[in-house]
Structure 1
Amino acid sequence: RKQVLPYTFGRSALKRFNKAEVNIVERLINKSMHFGKKYAKNTGRMTGKKTKLVNTVKTAFEIIELKTGQNPVQVLVKAIEFSAPTEDTTRIVYGGTTYHVSVDVAPLRRVDMALKFIADSVKEATFSNPKPIEEHLAEQLILAANNDSNSPSVKKRHELERIAQASR
């Protein structure tokens, strides 16, 4: 569905798996708004400034189009595809002993994890750096879309899959 701005105003929050219907660009924006857990979550960083992030992503997409000449949404989809892990580990307690067991990752969770990896890599790259966030986002998406080993999100995927393979 064609949209001018990716903004659903939280309509997807009411049903269980309705987030799959949300525009992928808006899901990236929502993941970028979340800063972290425990203390970092309460610091007030990256919260409530969705319009600012929409403009940031828009500018980053323009940079991607200038650098690669490709459709920026297609670059985002390829970046998600290469950043999404196929295997993960889960803890199983059996007789008082905890085991880590390798499990396959559900498709919706794969997309969630990939978006989280991309958003976290942009936050880490931007922190204490004079370069604007738009350039970092464009750079991270291009690296991940090319399946480059220098991309932090691709590194995180390889690390998770390596740990899962070791715990088979």
Structure 2
Amino acid sequence: MSAEDQPEPDAPAGSDDEGARAQLFGEWDVTDIEYTDPSTERYITVTPIAHTQGRHSDKQFKKSEISIVERLINRLMQTDENTGKKQLATSIVQDAFDIVHERTEDNPVQVLVSAVENSAPREETVRLKYGGISVPKAVDVAPQRRVDQALKFLAEGVYGDSFKTTTSAEEALAQQLIGAARDDVQTYAVNQKEEKERVAAAAR
């Protein structure tokens, strides 16, 4: 048998075909995410894993190595009603992603990344004391804190839109993600970012 007639060897385990099947929630691809803000790209990690069992908690700042989706899920749990209910928060995010895809026909993971980038403030204020006088001072925001603040604003927007209203948490989250991804100032997260930067600009 010549070399040309010999069958091709099977693809090894862990090949590209296997990697292509690793999708978030079994349906969303995480391999072709685009970033527009180079300063926060390092701190917005995208993986197909939405629950790491808290493995990041043993080291300071290791949270930036887990998926941005899981970080959003954890943020949604930080209310009195949802404390510790990770399965519920995960279900809310999963359903919201379906709504986002239905309305935009875009990958909801990409929409989330864009929403975080557009909701991350570049400046904020600190208070310095001179004698007995407290004076506001504008400072640049570290990239990791920018991502933290963006997730906080998104979660607060969801809570405000869905608590004691007829709007479901899934619907509220989808609206926040779509609005922030489009840099809509009417969205709570983008509005809060603009407000922080406005106050900082006045304190320069």
Q: Give TM-score, length-normalised by structure 2.
A: 0.75
Question: Cα RMSD (Å) of the superposition?
Answer: 1.3
SS in 2 for 1:65: helix
Aligned match for 1:19, one of 59, 63, 74 = 63
Partner of 1:161, secondary structure, is: helix
Provide, for residues 22-65 of structure 1, a one-character-per-residue CA deviation record: whole Å limited to 9, x for no partner: 10000001111112xxxxxxxx4211110011011001001111
Aligned twin of 2:141: 105
SS in structure 2 at match of 1:91: strand
158, 167, 173: which one aligns with 1:137:
173
Match of 2:88 among 52, 57, 61: 52
Equivalent residue runs for 1:14-163 within 5 Å: 14-35=58-79, 44-163=80-199
SS in 1 for 2:151: helix
Q: How many residues align?
A: 160
| Structure with the higher helix share, 1 or 2 | 1
CA distance in 2, matches of 1:26, 1:126: 20
**Structure 1: where are the runs of 5+ without partners?**
36-43
From 44, 51, 76, the equivalent of 1:7 is 51
Task: State the AA in 2 paired with 1:22.
Answer: I
Cα distance in 1, alignment partners of residues 55 and 130 from structure 2: 40
Larger Rg: 2
CA contact (8 A) 2:161 2:167 kept: no
SS at match of 1:6: coil
- Quote the Cα distance in structure 1 between the aligned partners of 2:167 and 2:153: 20
Contact 2:153 2:189 in 1 (8 A): yes
Name stretches of at least 5 consecutive residues in structure 2 with no aligned partner.
1-18, 26-48
| Greater RCO, 1 or 2 (C-alpha within 8 Å, sep 6+) | 1
Q: Which runs of 4+ in 1 moved over 6 A?
A: none
Cα offsets for 1:96-126 (capped at 9, x unmatched): 3211110000000000000000000000000
- SS in structure 1 at match of 2:165: coil
Q: 2 CA distance for matches of 1:152 and 1:30?
A: 19
Identity across matched positions, percent? 47
2:187 is matched by which residue type in structure 1?
S
TM-score by length of 1: 0.91
Classify the secondary structure of the residue corresponding to 2:50. Answer: coil
